Every structure is written in structure tokens, then in C-alpha cells.
Amino acid sequence: MSSNFLEADVGSVLAGVFRDSSGVVYAVNPTRETISELIFGLHQVGARPTVRLLAPGDPIKDVLADFIVAGHAADLVDAGTLELRVLADAPEASLLVTESAVVSLVAADDRVGGLTTTDEAFVDDMRGRYEREWTDAEAYSLRTPPLSAVRETLAADIGADTAEDFDGLLDSLDVAKGDGEGLGEVAIALLVAARNGQLLYDMSKWGEDVGLASKATFSRMKTRLEDGGLVTTEKVPIDVGRPRLRLRLAEDVRDLDLPELGTVAQERLYE
């Protein structure tokens, strides 16, 4: 890697750096936008380097509050392609430190530059600095399960139609944080469960087993969806114990397609 980068967005700069890199790349003090673009960009690279992301805790937490981003990040972590640690003292610049170059990310108007230096002594000094920073840094605990595991287990444990609807509703959202920014993962799971007439018990057990959320969280969200006029329940008798609850979409949203259902759900949950 010897040239500078000048692209329309930071994702294109990252893609260029990743394509030209092997081994370990340190991503130091990336912005929130860069963290998100880095995660999605790594999924697009054929021969991926291992990225060690060093950033203050708040930006990492803010970005990974979005289930869409966090689920993709968890896939990369699970594959050993991405590692996350909390940087105590952040530099002023956002840097990518590869084995042969240091790239400083600079945004100006509608372009993003990657200013590159390959001076061997400088690169060695920077590699040494951030290798030490990495060793001393605290690991960031990502609690979101890999999106691939969510999809696979949902199809296997609940049903292929429900898993397909989960993907469809998730794909219709720009963000999946909940609390007024898209729908959270538990709301998405329960809405598609209701669309397919699944049992609350089965969904909450699946969600807890895969690491999505606790059974109590599923139960609380079910109540919110009922209060919002989105979901109803039917009692299903069982041989021993209390009846189970089958989830159904409310009559006035039953015929909506997935993007429409997502829009209405956001309006009713967070109005």
C-alpha cells in the first residue's frame, strides 16, 4: 500500500485499505459512522484481515445498540475477524495501522480521504504503540448473538416461514435500536411470531437460548405490543400446567406487508 485514498464515503476508503492488507489491522479511534461502515465493509471483503478495533466505550456502545450492526459484528467476532477493545486515551485522529502503512482518515465536505504513510520507521513505531495499547485495553463485551446464529436457530427451532419474515422485517428497517429508532430485536421477533401464529413460550425460549433476550424481556414486550393494539393472544391448553399463549397479529394489521407492519408498529410503540 503506497497511495492515498480519496473516495465518496468512508466505507470505500476502508474497503481499499482492507483489500490491500493482510495480517492484523488496528482501527484506532474511529468515528461512530466509521465503526458501522467498518463492520459492514468487512463482510464484503473476500480475504479479510483481522481488525482490532480500539475506540472509547461510548461510541462502540452507541453503534452496537443497533441490532443490525451488532448482529453483523457478532458474526465477525465469532469468525475471529473482528476484535473490540476500549481505548482509554484516544488520539485526535482516526487511524488505520496496517503491517506496512499508517492511514489517517480525513473527512472534507462530500469526500473522505485516507492519507497514507509507508515510512518504515514511523509504521514500526505506530504498530508498537498500538500493540501495547491493545494489550493494556479492556475487552468490549458484545452481548448480541451472531445474526447468522439467530437466523439458523429461528428457522430450525420455530420455522422457516417465521425466519423468512424476521429477515424481511429486519431488512425493511434502516435501524433496529428500538426506543423510537426503528424496532428492537425482541419486538421484531414477536411481531413475526404473531404473523405466523407461534407460541409465546416457544419464542421466548428460543430467544433466551440463542442469547437474544430473557424470557422476562419477551414477556414485557408482548404486553407492550398488546397495549399498542398490534398483537393478541389465544390460550392453548396443554396436558399439564397453565395454558400456553399463541400470538396473533391484531385484526387491523393482519394483512399489512412487512414494511407496512414495521412502520405501524413503530408509530404505535413510540408515539
Query: pLDDT (tens digit, 9 = 90+) per residue, 140-159?
Result: 999 999 999 999 999 999 99
Element (H, E) at 243: none
Vertex 126 angle, CA 16 and 79, to 5°? 50
Model confidence at 44, in pLDDT bands (50, 70, 90)?
A: confident
> 55-67: per-residue pLDDT in tens?
999 999 999 999 9
> 173-224: per-residue pLDDT in tens?
999 998 878 899 999 999 999 999 999 999 999 999 999 999 999 999 999 9
Across the chain, what does the average pLDDT equal? 92
Residue 256 in grid coordinates: 399489512
pLDDT at 5 over 80: no
Write phi, then psi, for 234 (nearest 5 degrees).
Answer: -125, 140
Query: Quick one: average pLDDT of 233-256?
Result: 92
Residues with Cβ within 8 Å of residue 45, at least 6 apart in sequence:
15, 18, 19
- Using the structure block, give the residue that is written with the C-alpha cell 468487512: 42
Could you list the beta-strand ranges (E) of the chain.
5-7, 24-28, 50-55, 82-86, 94-97, 102-108, 111-117, 138-139, 176-178, 181-182, 231-236, 244-249
Domains and CATH numbers, the chain: 5-139 (3.30.870.10), 147-270 (1.10.10)
Secondary structure letter of residue 254 according to DSSP = T
Query: Quick one: average pLDDT of 87-95?
Result: 86
Ramachandran category for residue 55: left, alpha or beta (phi over 0 → left; psi -120 to 50 → alpha): beta
Would you give the end-to-end CA distance of the chain in angstroms?
50
